[in-house]
Amino acid sequence: MNARIIVLPGDGIGPEVTSSAVAVLEETARRHGHNFSFESCPIGGAALAEGDAALPAATLAAARSADAVLLGAIGDPRFDHLPPGERPESALLGLRRALGLFANVRPARAWAGLEAIGPLRPEVLAGTDLVVVRELTGGLYYGEPRGIDRDGASAVNTMRYTRDEVTRIARVAFELARTRRRHVTSVDKANVLEVSRLWRSVVTDVGAAYPDVRLSHEYVDAAAMKLVLAPASFDVVLTGNLFGDILSDEAGAVAGSLGLLPSASLSTSRPGMFEPVHGSAPDLSGRDVANPVGAMASAAMLLGDGLGLHAEAAAVTAAIETAMRSGLRTVDIAGPGDQVVGTRAFTAAVVGALGT
Ligand code: IPM
Ligand code: MG
């Protein structure tokens, strides 16, 4: 297969973990006879620092024409003073909207051998294997009107969902559930918000076409609690943009480290965008300590969900597991007795395991 992959390293630890993901993709291409081309473009704080917009027009154009987009992380405290529409993060929101990436898929699971490092007791964590399906181009993040009043005395954001937006993300969740344990938990705040009442009724309608999939509804506060009390009770968690942002970080912490979580942001056609769930972590940047697993697992999702190369995706996942099983750990997931290695050494172990 020929595939053109646009790489957006971004800020903080983004460049380091992205180069881990690229190393894995290059080795995959070599082993399986594919021809992947990689083109790197600036985004976020890295673009602002060059005097460009957070999402330069050339970066957007390159992304639009790609077969897949691989992103590192966005966020740079040097630009915290800018208004929301100009900050590094605005590039991510602009890219999601421009590419129509309405479906954000964030798997989180308990890793064998990591039971002891997370915040939960091993018996609570056991069997956890869930996917957050987050609506990504609507809701409170994009609703109008929005803004701060001229006198600074008040500010407004708008949570809005249309029936069509809820229908298409619900279908993604139900289809995914069919490949898993056939259970969708839809998360809303229907006891307070009209948007959530619409959400719940549309999800129920969509669910009627999937009689083989069990549908539960939870209020977001209860879901947040249940995620730490009984994470293994979830299979597919279907929710809106803001709640999905919050619950996916929580799911990452439950799994042991946000550094482990990959994500895919998909539309109905190519390109999809693939990125670790973690942020730019400026304090870790340039120190060879970042956990590259989230980025490498995102590369696996790029292969599978982005390019349809499912065997190659499974091989990358297996290689990550092999490296973990060998006892190598980045510092964020190291327990007593583990061998702590840097980003580069862990990456080399995964690339090496790809060949076995
Ligand atoms: C995420 C991030 C982004 C979001 C930020 C960086 C805009 O937290 O992908 O979860 O809120 O969507
Ligand atoms: Mg987030």
| Tens-place pLDDT, residues 226-278 | 999 999 999 999 999 999 999 999 999 999 888 999 999 999 999 999 999 99
- Ligand 1, atom nearest to 275 Cα: 9
Query: Rounded to the nearest whole angstrom, what is the distance from the C-alpha of residue 295 to the centroid of ligand 1?
Result: 15
Instruction: Take atom 10 of ligand 1 and give the residue whose Cα is closest.
Output: 245
Q: Which ligand lies nearest the alpha carbon of 95?
A: 1
pTM: 0.95
Count Cβ atoms within 10 A of the Cβ of residue 178 and give its class: 0-12 exposed, 13-18 middle, 19 or more buried.
middle
Tell whether ligand 1 has an atom less than 6 A from the beta carbon of residue 92: yes
Cβ–ligand 1 contact at 72 (below 6 Å): no
Cβ 76 under 6 angstroms from ligand 1:
no
Pocket of ligand 1 contains residue 176 by CB under 6 Å: no
Q: How far is CA 100 from CA 145, 238, 266, in A?
A: 21, 18, 8
- Tens digit of each residue's pLDDT (9 = 90 or more) over 56-92: 999 999 999 999 999 999 999 999 999 988 999 999 9
- 122 Cβ contact partners less than 8 Å away, ≥ 6 residues apart: 115, 116
C-alpha span between 257 and 117 (Å, rounded): 9
Q: Which of 80, 164, 205, 221 is catalytic?
A: 221
What is the C-alpha to C-alpha distance for residues 90 and 86, in angstroms, rounded to an integer?
6
- State CA 256 to chain mean position distance: 16
CA distance 219 to 237: 12
Q: Ligand 1: which atom is nearest the Cα of residue 244?
A: 10
Per-residue pLDDT reduced to its tens digit, 178-191: 999 999 999 999 99
Is 245 marked active-site? yes
Report how far ligand 2's centroid is from the alpha carbon of 72 (Å): 13
Give yes or no for a contact between 67 and 3, defined as CB atoms under 8 angstroms apart: yes
* Structure tokens belonging to residue 218: 């939870």
Question: Ligand 1 pocket check: which of 245, 247, 263 to mutate, most ligand atoms within 8 Å of Cβ?
Answer: 245
The CA distance from 281 to 63, in Å, is 24
CB 36 within 8 A of CB 99: no
Is 189 known to be catalytic?
Answer: yes
Tell which atom from ligand 1 comes closest to the C-alpha of 248: 10
89 touches ligand 1 (CB under 6 Å): yes
String of DSSP letters for 209-274:
T-TTSEEEEEEHHHHHHHHHH-GGG-SEEEE-HHHHHHHHHHHHHHHT-GGG-EEEEE-SSSPEEE
Counting DSSP H helices and E strands in the chain, the numbers are 12, 14
3-state class (DSSP) for residue 276: strand
Question: Does residue 249 have an active-site annotation?
Answer: yes
Output the residue whose Cα is nearest ligand 1's atom 6.
Answer: 89
Q: Quick: pLDDT tens for 94-147.
A: 999 999 999 999 999 998 888 888 899 999 999 999 999 999 999 999 999 999
CB within 8 Å of 312: residues ≥ 6 apart: 28, 32, 34, 303, 304
Packing angle, helices 310-325 and 343-354, rounded to 10: 120
277-311 pLDDT per residue, tens: 999 999 999 999 999 999 999 999 999 999 999 99
pLDDT at position 21, please? 98
Instruction: Report the chain's mean pLDDT, rounded to a whole number.
Output: 96
* Predicted local distance difference test score (pLDDT) of residue 8: 98
How large is the angle between the packed helices 88-98 and 57-64, nearest 10 degrees?
30
Q: CB 119: neighbour CB atoms within 10 A? A: 10
In whole angstroms, what is the distance from residue 356 CA to residue 351 CA?
10
Is 212 known to be catalytic? Answer: no
Helix axes 194-207, 163-178, angle to 10 degrees: 50
**pLDDT value of position 355:** 81
User: Above 80 in pLDDT, residue 356?
Assistant: no
The residue type at 331: V
CB proximity list for 119: less than 8 A, separation 6 or greater: 228, 253, 254
Active site residue: 76, 188, 249, 305, which one? 249
| Contacts for 164 with CB less than 8 Å, ≥ 6 apart | none
Atom of ligand 1 nearest to the CA of 245: 10
Chain mean position to CA 152: 34
The CB of 244 under 6 Å from ligand 1? The reply is no
141 classed as catalytic: yes
Contacts of 165 (CB under 8 A, 6+ apart): 102, 135, 137, 138
Q: Ligand 1 centre and the CA of 355: distance in Å?
A: 34
Residue 42 CB-density burial (10 A; 0-12 exposed, 13-18 middle, 19+ buried): buried
Check pLDDT > 80 for residue 352: yes
- Catalytic member of 141, 161, 210, 338: 141
* Distance between first and last Cα of the chain: 22
Burial string for 80-109 (b: 16+ CB within 10 Å, else e) reads eebeeeebbbbbbbbbbeebebbbbbbbbb
